[in-house]
């Protein structure tokens, strides 16, 4: 069993929809939780970063962490075609080692 499991997708939604992306993890040592966005043939770029349970909002993006359930989510409101990309969740231990999910590919159709 992988330490980080991510909903595989792919996901296709109409412009303006609310998107929910999800990951579960099994390692209690993970303390930091990140969401990266990766466009085709580019490196991942950090979208959201949090270390506590609860919600963190940044514009149209909300990251949610539930440590008791070992579950994290990323919500995208009012999705745009420019949001079309692969979204990667990542978990980091206190020692600084990151483990990534396999990504969910999102397509937002105009």
Q: Please give the residue ranges that form the binding site for other proteins (CB under 8 A).
A: 4, 6, 32, 34, 36, 41-46, 49, 51, 88, 90, 92, 95-103
Q: Can you tell me which residue has the tokens 């999910």?
A: 101
CB of 19 to other proteins, least distance (A): 19
Q: Which is nearer to other proteins, 43 or 110 (CB)?
A: 43
Nearer to other proteins, 20 or 93 (CB): 93
Q: Whose Cβ is closer to other proteins: residue 8's or residue 16's?
A: 8
Half-sphere exposure of 54 (CA within 13 A, CB side): 5
| Token representation of residue 74 | 């990323």
Residues 40, 45, 47, 51: what is their CA dihedral angle, to the nearest 10 degrees? 130
CB of 15 to other proteins, least distance (A): 26
For 24, the token pair is: 């579960």
């Amino acid at each position: 069993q992988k330490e980080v499991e991510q909903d595989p997708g792919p996901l296709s939604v109409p412009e303006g929809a609310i998107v929910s992306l999800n990951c579960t993890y099994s390692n209690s040592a993970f303390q930091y939780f990140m969401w990266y966005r990766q466009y085709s043939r580019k490196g991942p770029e950090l979208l959201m970063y949090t270390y506590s349970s609860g919600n963190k909002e940044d514009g149209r993006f909300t990251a949610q962490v539930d440590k008791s359930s070992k579950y994290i989510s990323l919500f995208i409101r009012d999705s745009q075609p420019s949001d079309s990309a692969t979204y990667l969740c990542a978990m980091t231990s206190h020692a600084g080692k990151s483990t990534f999910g396999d990504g969910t590919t999102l397509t937002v159709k105009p």
